Amino acid sequence: MTSSGQRSVGPLAGLRVLEIAGIGPAPYASLLLAELGADVVRIDRPAAVGAAPEPSDALNRSRPSVAIDLKQPDGRDLVLRMVRGADVLIEGLRPGVMERLGLGPEHCADVNDRLIYGRMTGWGQDGPLSHTAGHDITYAALTGALHATGGSDKPRNALNLIGDFGGGTMFLLLGILSALHERTRSGRGQVVDAAMVDGAASLMTMMFGMHAVGSWRDEREANLLDGGTPFYDTYRCRDGRFVAVGALEPQFFAELMKQLELDFDQDDVAGWPRMRAAMAKRFAERDRDEWAAVFEGTDACVAPVLGLEEAPLHPHVAAREVFVPYAGGYQPRVAPVFSRTPALRPGDKHVPGEDSRAVLVSVGLSAEEIDALIAAGTVRQS
């Protein structure tokens, strides 16, 4: 296996990962592992070679791609050969697909019983819905997360952050890293069944806890964190742009009132409608950036709501290099920040099959073997 060409200096240097190409949370997990220093190889379908780039192409950065036909016996055998030297395999196909290809957990364990087999699906490997299609919004819908998100008029999905990337990617990575730690004691691999519906539900832990004791109403814009309070909401400014207010604690609320030159009792729930109206009127008197200057450096917990073109340029965000210049725009760098083993910067995007020869050479195949696999259509080099 080979890396993207960047020197693996991150905290996961030396970890070897195979990724069966898919969409959404599994590729994002592989990207994060790669930029944390892991040696990740993406296995694409030959049919993807030469295809038009997908809108989610940015998720293909920082790791090489080899195009292998998994439906051919030689393709399956080639992947199993790669599995022998891997620590982790990540796949995001529907339950049963990898088994039918002869690459399921049992097949891989036969050649490498230390392998951590990460499975990323929406509904999980079992259950009544496990074989049906879905997307982030449907997984969020069944967990209460979608019901709790949006305005009073209707639920609104928070992009695909709840199911795909929060409930999916992050819990897949948590499972993989936990299994790797356990392997240091047992010496054995295991299967990680990461389901977006499970992760999205876990993200709702605090809300379900508050609901159980009567401190969270089961409706939108009626609670502390969903726009139900005037001091935790967004407000339109004179120029049509917005500021975000998050003055929950009494001392922060006091600072908010001071800067707005208003005088309201935070605990007077009956007075909240008047407070909200007064705050809306006051924020509408100035442009967003004028208010940003007013609140800069205060503890009122007020921030300008920035667009995608603005966010990378904010002084604090820029100082921490949260975003880095990339392909004519910006990309977020991997988080968090490490003191001794810094993560890699975002690497190049690799199109399907771009690195087929280089990857197979690193696995130990000869030039003749690679030529034969390409001639048979088992492998494609873009």
CB atoms inside a 10 Å sphere around CB 275: 20
Given this structure, which CATH class describes domain 16-203+326-380? alpha beta
Angle between helices 356-363 and 367-375 (to 10 degrees): 130
Q: Which residues neighbour 115 within 8 Å (Cβ) at sequence distance 6 or greater?
A: 83, 86, 87, 88, 89, 108, 109, 189
Cβ 279 vs Cβ 260: under 8 Å: yes
High-pLDDT (> 90) share of the chain, %: 94
Distance CA 215, CA 209 (A): 9
Backbone angles phi, psi at 243, to 5 degrees: -120, 155
In angstroms, the Cα distances linking 32 to 159, 211, 244, 285, 288 are 20, 34, 29, 43, 34
CA gap 132, 122 in Å, rounded: 9
Pick the CATH number of 232-319 from 3.40.140.10, 1.10.760.10, 3.30.1540.10, 1.10.260.30: 3.30.1540.10
Backbone angles phi, psi at 189, to 5 degrees: -85, 175
Q: For the chain, where do the domains classified as CATH 3.30.1540.10 start and end?
A: 232-319
Give the 3-state secondary structure of residue 326.
strand
- Alpha-carbon distance of 154 to 177, in angstroms, equals 38
Question: Which residue in 12, 44, 9, 13 sits closest to 349, CA to CA?
Answer: 44
SS3 label, residue 91:
strand
What pTM was estimated for this model as a whole? 0.94
User: pLDDT per residue over 17-54, tens digit each?
Assistant: 999 999 889 999 999 999 999 999 999 999 999 887 77
Q: Is 70 exposed, middle or buried (0-12, 13-18, 19+ CB in 10 A)?
A: buried
Q: Give pLDDT tens digits for 182-226.
A: 999 999 999 999 999 999 999 999 999 999 999 999 999 999 999
The residues of the chain that CATH labels 3.40.50.10540 are: 16-203+326-380
Model confidence pLDDT, tens digit, residues 107-116: 999 999 999 9
Cα 137–Cα 141–Cα 146 angle in degrees, nearest 5: 80
Helices 25-35 + 170-186 axis angle, to 10: 60
DSSP classification of residue 155 = B
- One pLDDT digit (tens) per residue for the chain, 382 residues: 544 444 558 999 999 999 999 988 999 999 999 999 999 999 999 999 988 777 668 899 999 999 999 999 999 999 999 999 999 999 999 999 999 999 999 999 999 999 999 999 999 999 999 999 999 999 999 999 999 999 999 999 999 999 999 999 999 999 999 999 999 999 999 999 999 999 999 999 999 999 999 999 999 999 999 999 999 999 999 999 999 999 999 999 999 999 999 999 999 999 999 999 999 999 999 999 999 999 999 999 999 999 999 999 999 999 999 999 998 899 999 999 999 999 999 999 999 999 999 999 999 999 999 999 999 999 999 8
Q: How far apart are CA 119 and CA 135, in angstroms?
A: 16
Which amino acids are annotated catalytic? 135, 164
Across the strands, what pairs with 91?
Answer: 119
Please tell me the predicted confidence (pLDDT) of residue 50. Answer: 86
- The Cα 282–Cα 131 span in angstroms is 53
Give the pLDDT score at 201: 98
Q: What pLDDT, on the 0 to 100 scale, is given for residue 8?
A: 53
Q: What is the pLDDT of residue 242?
A: 98
Round to whole Å and give the CA distance between 378 and 75.
6
